[in-house]
Amino acid sequence: MSLKDEIMNELKQDILSLQLKPGTIISETALSERFKLSRTPIRDILKQLSLEDYINIYPKKGNIVSYIDLDSVEQIIYLRSALEKQLFKDLAGQLPLKAVHELNQLLALQEQAIHSDQASQHFLKLDDAFHQTLFRWAGREFLWGLLQQFNVHYVRYRNLCMLKKDKLLDIHKEHQAMVQIILQGETLKIDDSVHHHLRADMDSLDFQEPYSHYIKK
């Protein structure tokens, strides 16, 4: 991996983790000093971040971390919802014992993460691992990879949703319920379970009002 790629990935992680919050101005000079790199390659990195919607470049204002686009978030939720409903039905009643063990291990780690320092960041990674595991056992890990390529707004939305401990507890319970639904082959419960799991915060003013200053107008 080249130095430019390393810097790009570090800045992406800063943005996705909300260390660089939506609306933050990013100075070429500050980045040049931080990474000990001339402004020309820094400018190239910023252009690529702009193409991938991590930042917006304005001629007079400068480089600004993009605001969270709820339209983009809704599109990803729509796609994930359709995929997960189908693959959960494909797995219903036929999840191998090894898969059950793997999922239960992740659920135990999620429970630990809820009570840890930086709980939301730890839990988010384990939440991804839980869903990725289900995609993998359904033979659809390629589709999981595709979803990760367009997630700059969705990941930050999820990060905001997970700032409250009560929300982490709710998600953990929903994951436990999902495993039981799949194990017992209760296909009629899958659609409602996935819909609530992925969309509850999107439709809630409890999410939108406190974080309106991070959301694209």
Q: Indicate the angle between helix axes 70-91 and 190-199, nearest 10 degrees.
A: 150
pLDDT tens across the length of the chain (217 residues): 788 899 999 999 999 999 999 999 999 999 999 999 998 999 999 999 999 999 999 988 899 999 999 999 999 999 999 999 999 999 999 999 999 999 999 999 999 999 988 898 899 999 999 999 999 999 999 999 999 988 999 999 999 988 888 999 999 999 999 999 999 999 999 999 999 999 988 877 677 778 889 999 8
Cα separations in angstroms, 67 against 15, 25, 28? 10, 12, 19
Residues with Cβ within 8 Å of 42's Cβ and at least 6 positions away in sequence, in order, are: 7, 28, 31, 32, 35
pTM of the full structure: 0.90
Predicted local confidence at residue 208, as pLDDT: 74
Predicted local confidence at residue 205, as pLDDT: 63
Rounded to whole angstroms, how far apart are CA atoms 76 and 35?
A: 33
For residues 179 and 107, the answer to whether their CB atoms sit within 8 Å is yes
Return left, alpha or beta for 64; rule: phi > 0 is left, psi -120 to 50 is alpha, else beta. Answer: beta
Sequence-ordered strand ranges (E) for 10-131: 25-26, 55-58, 62-65
Residue 132's CB is within 10 A of a number of other CB atoms, namely 17
**Residue among 125, 101, 122 nearest 113 (CA):** 122
Rounded to whole angstroms, how far apart are CA atoms 184 and 182?
A: 6
Is the domain spanning 3-65 CATH 2.40.440.10? The answer is: no
